[in-house]
Amino acid sequence: MASDVSADDNSVTLDPGQRASVLVEALPYIQAFAGRTVVVKFGGNAMIDPALAHSFAADVVLLRAVGVRPVVVHGGGPQIGALLERLGKQSEFRDGLRVTDAETLDVARMVLSGQVGRELVTAINRHTAVAVGLSGEDAGLILATQRDESLGYVGDVVDVNRTILDTLLDGGFIPVVSTIGADRHGQALNINADSAAIAVAAALGAEKIVYLTDVPGVLTDVGDPASLVSLLSATRARLLIADGIIAGGMIPKVEACLDAIEAGVGAAHILDGRIPHVLLLELLTDAGVGTKITRTDGSGT
């Protein structure tokens, strides 16, 4: 007999009828997304809270199990900053980007591929051994060019070689990509994770791109969680930015979603990574829990 207690300590016990309703509600979404690629930019609290990382890993594995092709792209800004501080090195930012000299680049490579990426791969593989960690340097995955000499080894994505990603996805694996790229001469470059996720999603023709953040989504009143906007067209999102309703730190998040849509991704989602299993709640339920941004007013799936 199945237990009435979920593995999550904060879960709610469901009776058999409720469990069946949840599964039935998820069915049309599972059918719609089967065989489709979903790129998830892993960040926010989910990146530094082991319990949330475990929850996220379970979500990704379940999506794969029902036929979705998930790709995870991650940064590691807080972890890079923490290690630099321990090494006695001051972080410097310009226009939101970390100035990356040779020493900082070494730290970024070590943290992204050796710590954050490995921890995420391990969390996924605890459920089933399907996660494969990649750096953007591997097999020429992310080709980049240096943005500005004043920023040091910071790059912009020029191209994504999707061959290795397709090979892994076709084999049933989950690629976990850390955002260090390389230029045509093999020089490593630190890439903004949001931008890298867009480039990967566009290259793969992804159905969706999902940003895990530390905010509920787009709020028309930042002090009122009930003002969450569940669905936004690209046109309305730009109007809300122009009117100052979308402001501050939410602007780059929404602009990243708009850039993804303009690059050909079907829809973009902003989710609160502090909510356990938020990925499943948004993608496989009627209500959803974050903000979905689409090209038009049509909701789609």
Residue positions annotated with a catalytic role = 41, 44, 77, 194, 253
- CA angle 197/40/172 to nearest 5° reads 105
For 73-82, give one letter per residue: b (16+ CB within 10 A) or e. bbbbbebbbe
DSSP state of 37: E
Tell me, letter by letter, the H, E, C secondary structure of 110-151: HHHHHHHHHHHHHHHHCCCCCEEEEECCHHHCEEEEECCHHH
Judge residue 113's burial from the number of C-beta atoms within 10 Å of its C-beta, 0-12 exposed, 13-18 middle, 19 or more buried.
Answer: buried
Locate 21 and state its tokens.
């309703």
**Rounded Cα–Cα distance for residues 168 and 289 (Å):** 30
